[in-house]
Amino acid sequence: MFIFARDDGSPLPRSTLYNIFKSALEHVGIEKLPIHSTRHTHTVMLMEAGWDMKSISERLGHESIMTTMNIYAHLSENIKQKSIESFDKYMEQQK
C-alpha cells in the first residue's frame, strides 16, 4: 500500500512528490528540506500523541522496535516536558 498513489493505486513518480513538496515549502516560506524529513516529523508527532514504540515501529515498517528506538531516540522538548509532568503528578499521588 502506498501513501501517495494514483487513483488506480499505482505509485506516483518520485519527481511528482518532490516537486509538490518543494512547491509547498516555498508557499509557506520554509527552507529546502528533504522529503524524508516528513517521516521524522510524523514519528515525533506520534510519540507526542502518546503512541507506544511498538505501534510506531510497525507503522514505519521496521522489523525491530530497537531500530525505531535507535533512529528516533532524540526526544522532542514536548515529550521531555510531558515526562517530567507525568512523573511530578505520580510523585504527588504518592504522598
Per DSSP, the residues of 19-31 read HHHHHHHHHHTPP
pTM for the full model? 0.66
So what's the pLDDT on residue 48? Answer: 86
> If we measure between CA atoms, which residue out of 65, 77, 78, 73 comes closest to residue 56?
65
Mean per-residue pLDDT over the chain, rounded: 87
So what's the pLDDT on residue 64? Answer: 93
pLDDT in tens, 38-73: 888 899 889 889 899 999 999 999 999 999 988 887
Name, in order, each residue with C-beta under 8 angstroms of 22's C-beta and a sequence gap of 6 or more.
Answer: 32
- Using DSSP's 3-state secondary structure scheme, residue 76 falls into coil
